[in-house]
Structure 1
Amino acid sequence: MPLETPEWDKVTEWVREYLLDSTDPYARLRHAGFPPDFVGGLPLTAVSSQNARVLVQASRRSIDAQVRLLRALVLDDRLATLPYVRDAEEYLAQLERDAEAHAAQDVFRTHLLRGAEVFLDREDLRETLRAFVADSDKSVLLVDGEPHSGRSYTYAFIRHLSQHEGFRPARVLLGPTMTATKVVRRLAAFVSDPRAGVVPPVPTDLDDPLPALDEAVHWVVLQATGADDLFWFVLDDCDRLDPGSDVWDLIGQLALALYEHAPVRRAQAPRLVLLGYGEAMRQLPYELRHSLCRDRARTAGPDDVRAFFDRYVRERPPPPVAALPAEEREAALAGLVDVAVEEVLAAAADGADGTGSGGGDGGGGSPGGAGGTGGAFAAPPGGPRGAGGVGGVGGPDGVVAGGGGEESYMRRLGTAVEGAVRVYRALH
């Protein structure tokens, strides 16, 4: 599970106070065990706070570098005597688990992202993203699909990949009232360092937007291209834009600016992801025709739920089941899968009437499976209602517009799967 921004802020402070509180930061880092080529590539100065930010940003590009940084902090003599070291040790353990998972599995095939956060189906998306990451000539990813099919939760999977592939997603949610100026301001906030005192050339809403916005777009792309982080700009809910919105022009300008800057520093060039951007929408500039990747989201169904649980229970069998002879173990696992699928689908269907009954109180459920596991996967009381967004299946596009808060089938389905995962873990 990736460290969040507040946690990285703590790490940066520790680096400043303990690791780089030195008149010779290069020698200090070499002494701490950082590779000479890595240390030599850091633009360090006499300002420890700036050096700390540089080191943390460079280390965040890969999981191995993150582990190396936290390990150096944990081993630092001064930090080791303070209470903060417990937090540092916890972060290190968390990152080591991530590194182990990264080495042991194909991150593009992951179905369980963080904790019990589930990312169902989207097999085509996984391979599209694999190709998009690998091909530096592709600069724009467009994701289309029916409303409530989980398009916006492509972002949940992108965020998961960013931890393993070394890029930084920067998302802007679009809507009917969003303007091009607001979008550029949001993007500028991601790529600019407020401590540097550089003011982006973003126009006010009263200015003539066209020439000023073009200048601002190129400024944003130039800043992103020269940054320590590799940025992916994610514009979400494109289909919620007003047809006459100036954001459509901005999207074309931004995509073209990325295309034009890519040859300068190809490995560091930012990418653009457009969620909810259908083929019938405003066409992107002709020059980009060979730089595009496309994916179309679809609603998950029973086969996707079964495929998820079939993989999940076999990777994590309960100890009593794992101890059974092979034939009995397979029958027990198949029974667990049947129970899980039946109860999750029932919970998702029950929520459609607005009662939020979900899968009952967890005591009934389906019979059979693994020696009396009936009810083992029942959703918690209250059913799927009220849970948070679900990777691939819920979140912002999981609420039916104008439905008075009614949840879509995809959101109910995803929430039920996550509830089942939590209950299943309690069996271990």
Structure 2
Amino acid sequence: MPAQLNTLDAVPIAPGRWPLLGHTPSLLRRRFGFTSSLREHGDLVKIYLGPLATYVVTSPDLVHQVLVTDGASFDKGIMFDRFRPYFGNGIAMSNGSFHRKQRRLVQPAFHRERIAGYTAAMSGKAAELSGSWSTGQVIEFDLAMQELAVNIVGETLFATELGAQAIAEAQRSMPVVIKQGMVRALSPGFVEKLPIPGNRRFDLAISRLRRIVGEVIAAGRAEGADRGDVLSMLLLARDADTGEGMDDGQVYDEVVTLLTGGIETTALALAWFFHEVGRAPEIERRLHAEVDQVLDGRPVTIEDVPKLVYTQQIAQEVLRAYPIWLLMRRASAEVELGGVRLPVGTEVTLSPHALHHDPRYFPDPDRFDPDRWAPERDSGPPKGAYVPFGAGARQCIGNVFAQTEIVAAAATIAASWRLVPVAGRPVRQKVTGAAYPSQLPMTAQRRNV
């Protein structure tokens, strides 16, 4: 590398650093406000998680370099090290050649032909849930969408009676695991050893998941058949070079990875989707007009998804407005980034939320505007500015599944229902790793179509 590159000492340090705890209190107290403020200090800004320095990338071009151009020179970072003992070494957590091998084994479960089959489960479960509502009923909509996401991932992941028990446990335990896991990831290591209620809840939830998912895997292994679900494909997958499959421990890690990603992302996206639609009459009118025209009263199929153009625009805007908060990477080779030499082992952080709310690339970023994504608009945001599922070789393997699910489920619900916000019950964002609504009561009103 050229000698004139700056060293890490030249990177500005963000204000708000505490003794011993570093910037962790600022991160946990201010969340979005803190990460969005970092762009004011440069394209690369140093913060401390306890005593650990990490370098926050705030510009799209450098984000694209980390995730895509030089993606092979970065592994998952310290946050994933903290998660790995509990979430396992699935494709979301693993690194290097092992990650590439696992991605090849898991990828067939997300080919277009499989997703076409999953679409029936997506629309079917959405119809089943919304069919249980009555006109005038006040629904805790965030909880309803969590139930829907759990049922959809369960239908596609576990096609067994025992699998239904695993899904019930996932519905109970995964929100605890996700929330407390993020707190652990951002806190000094000693915090996870403290006998506090959050730690006890987390440990119990992990223990329950290990037991029931292990039982489902053992039953599937004994059956040895392809039932058309994801678990069957994981159990039957073989490496093209060695002919080897996954042992039960690795299958468990991949199942937990898919449960985590398949529940949180889509449940939150669907909840915020109808929150935004419900408070914007023109967006609601256009959504209903499109759904009525494309579906004409029948269930959603995979062929309908590309035709639901405006529905997709709303989904894209939801993923822009309410993305995950932080991603982390670690340099596995020496890299030049923004004129700075990053030695091997340097921790790098980026915030999809901060990127998606940068007014340089998304004018009036707090305004919900699906027309940002209209096909007739010539230019979109630059590479690296919109990363709801990451990018490059480490992009979320279930991104097409998730986007299909959001559109199919939203169209199914919108075909029959209006969801109206409840007056006097304000909705705020609560941030863990993602943006959760503080509450989301909505009144169901059946449409006369």
What band does the TM-score fall into relative to the shorter chain? under 0.3
TM-score by length of 1: 0.23
* Bigger relative contact order (CA 8 A; separation at least 6): 2
More strand by share: 2
Q: Decide which structure has the larger Cα Rg and report it.
A: 1
